[in-house]
Amino acid sequence: MEFGLLAAALIAAVCVRLTLAAEAATVAPEQDSGRLRDLALVSAFVGLGVGRIGAMVAGGTNPLSHPLDVLILRGGVDTVLASVGAVVAFGIAARRALVVTADAIAPAVIAGLAGWHAGCFTRGACLGTPSNLPWSISGPSGVGRHPVEIYAAVLLAAAAVVALVLLKTRHARPGMIAGLAIGFVSGARLATEPMRLGIGNSPLWWYAGGVAAGGAAVAAAIVVGRHRG
Amino acid sequence: MRPRLLVAIALVAAASACSAESVPIGDVPALPTTTPAEVHALLDASTLPVVLNVWASWCGPCRSEAPLLRSAAAESGDTVRFIGIDVRDTQDEARGFIAEFGLDGIEHYIDASGAVPNDLGGRGVPITFFFAPGGRLVSMHSGVLDERSLALGIDEISRTVP
């Protein structure tokens, strides 16, 4: 792991910490900031590990014969597997109060993702497809490009604020904030995907995955809301 | 006991799924040796933009970026020339690496002394240079390539074609 990725991860961790501090007075005593922070960290590490191993297997590297390659995150992390791994790890760790904990941690997780995207300047991944817009950033050849990671960071930061307000005002039904959070993250990914550069990937896959995740989140939020209501 | 069994099955499945893209080492020809002067001549004469990747079979990070380079060469090989410079390595190890990762779609050379990357202005392995047609250096990426950096580099040099 290199310093650019570490710096971006540090920005993400600071965003998580600040958001948890902002909501500290709102969450139930058993959901204290320290526990939520630990849950977020465990989920993130498990997700990264699963996603990295998935990317290694997909690329033809045997994780058993080259175990240390798991640490080379820059070599690729399968985002879908990482998301699944993080959600499953969170589900296991918070199983006794899953819905309440998911609501409490959702704003911090979105803020952390926003911080990770904003850290694109340190990890050298801000630029997307060409653009003539005034705020475009020039690449090495002088072509203006969408600062696509900054777009994602702004969208997610706005979503984190909405989730935090919902949490603090206590207007949302149980599960609603977590469901909306998944929808926000999917929506931000859908909105920015066409502006991202990639190798061999089609954004259509992400459209399908994002719509499915958003739909499932809303459905789950409604079901949980009715059950609790 | 059951969770451990499931983990073991998952690991075996993961291991067996690997190396699906590999080719027999016997199909990989010996790599021609090269020098800084020859690489400069090759870049100067190229009418296509060039991605020049410096790698070695003993380099762990090179293993991580190899699948990405294979995919990029398969996707953009018609419009971009992909060159691999294997440094401080042996023929057998180099051919084994190419076979393991199915990198036969990339044009490889061996530089036993490691002089080429130094001459191009880079240090360490891996390192990747992006050249416009005619050999003008557009950008350089030190360390492991990620998907966004490689895609950006390729897109940048593709836009230098007249």
Per-10-residue mean pLDDT for chain A, 229 residues long? 79 91 73 84 92 86 85 82 91 86 91 92 86 91 92 96 88 83 86 86 69 74 65
Place of tokens 């969408």: A146
- Region of A170 please: left (phi>0), alpha (psi -120 to 50) or beta: left
Long-range contacts of B40-48 (CB under 8 A, 24+ apart): B40/B119, B40/B135, B42/B83, B43/B131, B43/B134, B43/B135, B44/B134, B44/B135, B46/B81, B46/B131, B46/B133, B46/B134, B46/B135, B47/B133, B48/B79, B48/B80, B48/B81, B48/B133, B48/B161
- Closest residue of chain B to A3, computed from CA coordinates: B143
The answer to whether the CB atoms of B148 and A72 lie below 8 A apart is no
Residue-wise pLDDT tens digits, A164-195: 998 888 777 888 888 888 888 888 888 898 89
Flag if B149 and A59 touch (Cβ within 8 Å): no
Residue A166 contacts B where some CB pair is shorter than 8 Å: no
pTM attached to this predicted model:
0.82
| B156, B158, B160, B161: best to mutate for the A interface, most A CBs within 10 A | B156
What's the confidence (pLDDT) of residue B19?
45
- CA dist., res. A196 & res. B103, Å (int): 26
Verify whether the Cβ–Cβ distance B144 to A2 is below 8 Å: yes
- What are the chain B neighbours of A139 within 8 Å (beta carbons)? 152, 155-156
**Residue B18: predicted pLDDT:** 47
The reply to whether B151 touches chain A by the CB within 8 Å rule is yes
Q: Which of residues 118-137 of B touch A (CB under 8 A)?
A: 130, 132
What is residue A182's predicted lDDT score, i.e. its pLDDT?
85
CA distance B104 to chain A (A): 15
Other Cβ atoms within 10 Å of B136 Cβ, number: 13
CA distance A200 to B32: 29
B116: confidence class by pLDDT, cuts 50, 70, 90: very high
The reported pLDDT for the residue numbered A139 is 85
Confidence grade of residue B35 (pLDDT, cut at 50, 70, 90): very high
Report cis status (omega within 30 of 0) of the bond before B126.
yes
